[in-house]
Amino acid sequence: MEAFAPNPPEWTATAVHAYEFCCPRCGASCTEAHEVWINRRSPVYTEFNRRKWQEFYRCQCGGIWWAWSSDRPPSELVRSDEITNESSDNDF
C-alpha cells in the first residue's frame, strides 16, 4: 500500500481516533506501523489557514488508528531551530 494513494485502503474503515500520536492499543509510535495511508484529498484548514490531514496507521499489534498531521510530535531528525523557524512562517 502506498501512503499517498488517492483512495483509502479497506483497513482504514475501522480506524479509531488516537488522541495521543501513538497506537491507542499498545502505545507504539507511528514509525513502528506496518502500513500508513495519508488522506491528502480532504485537508482541513485551521484557523490560521494551515492544512492538516488525517494520517492512518496499521500497527504491528493489529490496532488501526488515525490522528491529525498537526498533532504529530516534532521529529527527532530536525534541529530545534528549524522547528522554531517553521512554526513562525506565515502562509499567505
Type of residue at 89? D
**HSE (side-chain half, CA atoms, 13 Å) at 32:** 14
Q: What is the pTM of this model?
A: 0.77
3-class DSSP state of 87: helix
Instruction: Please name which of 91, 89, 50 lies closest in space to residue 70, comparing C-alpha atoms.
Output: 50
Q: What is the pLDDT of residues 20-44, one digit of tens each?
A: 999 999 999 999 999 999 998 888 9
Instruction: Kindly state the DSSP code that residue 6 receives in the 8-state scheme.
Output: S
44-82 pLDDT per residue, tens:
998 899 999 999 999 999 999 999 999 998 887 776 665
pLDDT score recorded for residue 77: 78
Of the two residues 24 and 84, the one the predictor is more confident about is 24
| Helix, coil or strand: residue 14 | helix
